[in-house]
Amino acid sequence: MNNEKAFHLLRNPLLNKGSGFTAEERQAESLEGLLPTSVETLETRVGRASAQCDACPDDLARYVYLAHLQDVDETLYFALLISQPDKYMPLVYTPTVGDACLKFGNIFRSTRGLYLNLDMKGRIESVLRNWGETDVRFIVVTDGSRILGLGDLGANGMGIPIGKLALYSAAAGVPPQFTLPIMLDVGTDTQEYIDDPYYLGAKQARPDNDTYYEFLDEFTEAVQKVFPGCCVQFEDFNIHHAEPLLEKYHDKFCMFNDDIQGTAAVATAGIYTACRAKGENMSNQRILFLGAGSAGCGIGDLMAQAMQSEGLDKETAYSQIRLFDINGLLTKSRADSLEPFQRPFAADHEPTKDFVGMIRSFKPTAIIGVSTVHGAFNEDVMKAMCEVNDRPIIFPYSNPTSHSECTAEEAYAGTNGKVLFASGSPFPELEVNGNKIEPSQGNNVYIFPAMGLAVYATKAKRVTEPMFLTAAKALAETLTDEELNSGLLYPPRDRIREVSAHVAAKVAENIFDENLASVDRPSDVSAFIKEHTYVPSYAPHEA
């Protein structure tokens, strides 16, 4: 090819500017004639992309359009997302990503990231080296075994790492060239996908635990060799593997599990702001969970730590938190059948499956749903919560929207507008007692991108539990009194970059305090974070 360099520029999404290349760049890079005559600003291209996205017939089509845009021009893609975060983040991640993962094989256009399968066992290190960028700072990895609340989607779950990393850059400013989505394609136990001619993954059942953990060990060791200093975010692993993998690896290299730790931080932040609204402390709260998987127990653990930070002893803190699973209340009589991470929450109580009865006897100030059981927080639950609280805290946190324990409308109606509400999925604005209410969404996007920016800037050696408690407190600080009085428990997403900067700076301070940074502590941590924040720009191309 006579003009290989020019075509490389136009086909590399990190370098391509399309009609944004200047006349000088077009001449210098032999791009003349390959582009329309007009030289456009990034703002003009964002306007066109916005109109094109709006013209798509539904949200899934908009997801596909945005994925194509990311494949063509990442600067434009991120500039568009940042221009209206509240509009575009639900399209690139929850709730739309759930539908996209269900149909991933059908909507697939081009590959992004790496797929590692069991046939590569013994040579994962060499496969990782096939990735073009050698300086990878962030990997989001899944095995597709528990995608959102949708179950085992196998390789279709690749939409999750792709979406998460897009939010790292859009919400907090982690430079996209340093990120890598990875799918551990170890098969699926969902026969529907094995039979689907368009399914993109390995058409085989998931392996036994010994094979699985050997594969994970090789993967994590290879990452540390190929991308030293990289932080790995584990995402959407099932209950049997998520907590054990976190326990196994958290002290060995820089990693965390967002479903457990990120969800815990954002939920804890919501309780902190609810406490502000009620004029109470975290240590005053009694919290009842519906759902006792890794997410529920992770939230409970961090809330217990928050209570201990206010003076409660460990035993008292855990006694103020109770969890239900499919078999009812976690009790000491069930201890032998519980996972190790569930046992601290086993109550000295007779077995019961009566969630409403537990509300009346335990008198929780808050209920949190991580069960994926749609409608579980029904009228009886609302009534019972109002019997024991003037202002009940109700958090249906399950994703996607179709799996939420209740809707915002049901929560406000069932409590006569008294509820302090936050959900995992977005709900539309509604009118309550003559006032417009924007239901709060406790989305992990308030935590993991900021955590990523702090780790990226400081080159942190580890991610620790105190960092997540710091992040929760920092997030709660960002809510203004006006926003709190309007019924919000989380700041509006149109302030996400500002909020992420504050959370990242606080987490970075914690990293420096714990001596986990690989760089010297600056005199102004907030300014330091700002210096490391990616801002989309058609900067002059360097030959």
Q: Which residues are catalytic?
A: 93, 164
C-alpha neighbours within 13 Å on the C-beta side of residue 24: 5
Q: What single string gives the DSSP state of each residue in 465-514?
A: HHHHHHHHHHHHHTS-HHHHHTT-SS--GGGHHHHHHHHHHHHHHHHHHT
User: Which is it for strands 366-369 and 138-142: parallel, antiparallel or unpaired?
Assistant: unpaired
| E-only strand ranges, 295-452 | 321-325, 328-329, 366-369, 393-396, 420-423, 430-432, 435-437, 440-441
C-alpha distances in angstroms, 292 versus 231, 360, 397?
Answer: 27, 20, 13
Long-range contacts at 409-417 (CB < 8 A, ≥ 24 apart): 410/377, 410/382, 411/377, 411/382, 412/437, 414/379, 414/381, 414/382, 414/383, 414/386, 415/382, 415/385, 415/386, 416/386
For residue 309, give both structure tokens.
């930070």
| Separation between Cα atoms, residue 304 and residue 291, nearest integer Å | 17
SS3 content of the chain, % helix, strand, coil (to 5): 50, 10, 40
Contact between 441 and 433 under an 8 Å Cβ cutoff? The reply is: no
Radius of gyration for the alpha carbons in the chain, expressed in angstroms and rounded: 24
Contact between 518 and 460 under an 8 Å Cβ cutoff? The reply is: yes
Return the residue matching tokens 């710091």: 470
| 3-class secondary-structure state, position 281 | coil
Whether the CA torsion 43, 44, 49, 50 is positive or negative: it is: positive
Treating both helix axes as pointing N-terminal to C-terminal, what angle do 465-477 and 263-278 enclose, rounded to 10 degrees?
Answer: 40
| Separation between Cα atoms, residue 477 and residue 503, nearest integer Å | 9
Contact between 156 and 106 under an 8 Å Cβ cutoff? The reply is: no
* Chain mean position to CA 244: 20
